[in-house]
Structure 1
Amino acid sequence: MSSLITIDWDYFMDYMNTWNGSYIENETNIYKHWYKKYFDEKNRGIDITKHMNVGGEVDEFWAKLKKNVNFKPNTKILLTESHLNAYKIAVEQGVDSVFSFDSHSDLGYEGLDSFKFEVNCADWLGKLIYEGKINEANIIYGPYTNEYPEEFKEINKSYDINYLTLDQVKCDNPCEIVHICRSGCWSAPWLDKRFMAFVYESGFEFENIDIKERNWDPNGISLAEQIDYMLYG
């Protein structure tokens, strides 16, 4: 079986176990809501940039993954903003299975009724297996997820879905594309430099498809901008 390896950057976010945000993936939520959250917490005497970070697991990720995945010499990374792009990549590459590293299952959150909706960032993996485009879905939850496999028991019983740890991942025939998404609605902008460092640490060539730079500068914005951010949402 050929497989797509896809990695959501929020897999490493150490605040995901208390994160209950659900957002439409648009430029406003990728950028603007972070300022609102920052100033809301600052007014309570909390600097969230000191408390919301990536976990130490990020430092050993590639070494552990490469032990059990037979990456090809010409492997290339595609960088996208949304995990939704994994759906298109999996179809284009003609893979039989997906290994998804994420803080979210992306199977859909309405049981089997999830598949009545169009493909989106919350159901792309479920839609792949429901539509028969892949035969197997492997979910590797991030260490800080607040989800549990039991939440998807209806889907789990109907399809070949496995829940693995990083050490349990075995893949002899990965496709030549590795997909990494930033998921900026959930991944803080002050961690973007660490995100790019993570990409470089892979040792693979990469292509940025649609990720836009976020200029995180809460001390450099005007009062009018700050008020606008505070009123957002």
Structure 2
Amino acid sequence: MRLLVVDFDYFFPVPQDPKDPLAPLYAWAHFETPYYLGEVWEERALAFLLRGLPLPHAQGGEGFWERFAFAEGTVLYYADSNALAFHPEVREGVEEVVLFDAHHDAGYRPLGGEPACDDWMVFYARQGARLRAFYPSWRDPSLEPEPVVPVERVKDPEGPVEGIFQRVFLCRSGAWVPPWADEAFFAFLEAAPLPKVALEAVTRRPLDLEGLRRRVREEALGLTLLERIRGLK
């Protein structure tokens, strides 16, 4: 059984060079908690908007599913967290995992007793599965720590992917991918030519972008008034 796993953060480029002037805007802590899945994105959006910068968006998902061949009866399971890639319905009988992700998810810290979003690949290794990870073109694999289990890691060469897949898992990774990219995620999910099963609730996250833009305009007006007052002194 071959399992294809796709993390949507694969399609959300972030600066790789710490000297990039935009890099500080992406210096995000990542925890799969309600705050980091939702509320924190308001201040992250404001960091761009207050500087007059466009919000970053997901890109490159068009035509992705056409690269793969699927066996008859293949089901796509989806969730927000990549930890559910090791869900009992997903992992049963899996002998090979092919991952498309900005991270190898094969261990970055001491392992817990249950799979987490950053170490679920280790649990597949323990059940004897072969592991392959394809990084997006924008991602530098050398920036990642070495996996704690053997994983074949390469940059995605793009084009058709060899072999046939019997199962698929897709995650949104809402702690890495912002709410303003949710529409792109659901469009990507819908484009997959497979029956779909949700392993947890994955809904569009509320984010009042117009309200944030009003705040930005108010901040700009306040700064203008302050500058005028200072100029009178």
User: What's the TM-score bracket when you normalise by the shorter of the two chains?
Assistant: 0.7 to 0.9
Q: Structure 2 length normalisation: TM-score?
A: 0.76
Deviations 1:135-171 (A, max 9, x none): 3111011222243287317x3xx63x21242447423
How far 1:98 moved relative to its partner? 0.5
Report deviation, 1:186.
Answer: 0.8
Q: 1:171 aligns with which of 158, 163, 173?
A: 163
Question: How many angstroms apart in 2 are the aligned matches of 1:45 and 1:168?
Answer: 39
Aligned to 2:82, the other structure's residue is in SS state coil
How many residue pairs get aligned? The number is: 203
SS of the residue 1:215 aligns to: coil
Query: What's 1:71 paired with?
Result: 70
Partner Cα distance (1:10, 1:163) in 2: 17
Where do residues 20-99 of structure 1 align in structure 2 (5 Å cutoff)? Answer: 20-47=27-54, 49=55, 52-55=56-59, 57-63=60-66, 65-66=67-68, 70-89=69-88, 92-99=91-98
Higher relative contact order (Cα pairs below 8 Å, separated by 6+ residues): 1
* Equivalence for 2:208: 217
How far apart, CA to CA, are the structure 1 residues paired with 2:143 and 2:185?
27
Output the TM-score relative to the length of structure 1.
Answer: 0.76
Partner Cα distance (1:32, 1:152) in 2: 32
Distance in structure 2 (CA, Å) of the matches to 1:149 and 1:44: 28
5+ residue gaps, structure 1, are: 224-233
- Displacement after TM superposition at 1:185 (Å): 0.9
CA offsets 1:157-212 (integer angstroms, 9 cap, x no match): x63x212424474233x22x311000011112111111111112122121233212
Summarize deviations over 1:7-28 as a string: whole Å, max 9, x none.
Answer: 0001111226354534210221
Q: Residue 120 of structure 2 corresponds to which residue in structure 1?
A: 124
Change (3 A) 1:43 1:91: closer
Q: CA deviation at 1:118?
A: 4.6
Percentage of pairs with the same residue? 23
Deviations 1:50-98 (A, max 9, x none): xx1122x3113112x22xxx31222221120000000225764220111
Contiguous gaps of at least 5 residues in structure 2: 17-22, 216-233
- Give the whole-Å Cα distance in 1 for the aligned partners of 2:15 and 2:82: 16
Tell me, what secondary structure is at the counterpart of 1:214? coil
User: What is the match of residue 108 of structure 1?
Assistant: 107
Give, in whole Å, the separation in 2 of the partners of 1:108 and 1:188: 24
User: C-alpha separation between the residues in 2 aligned to 1:185 and 1:16?
Assistant: 17
Residue 194 of structure 2 corresponds to residue 204 of structure 1: yes
In the other structure, the counterpart of 1:134 is 128
Which range moves more in the overlay, 71-80 or 96-105?
Answer: 71-80
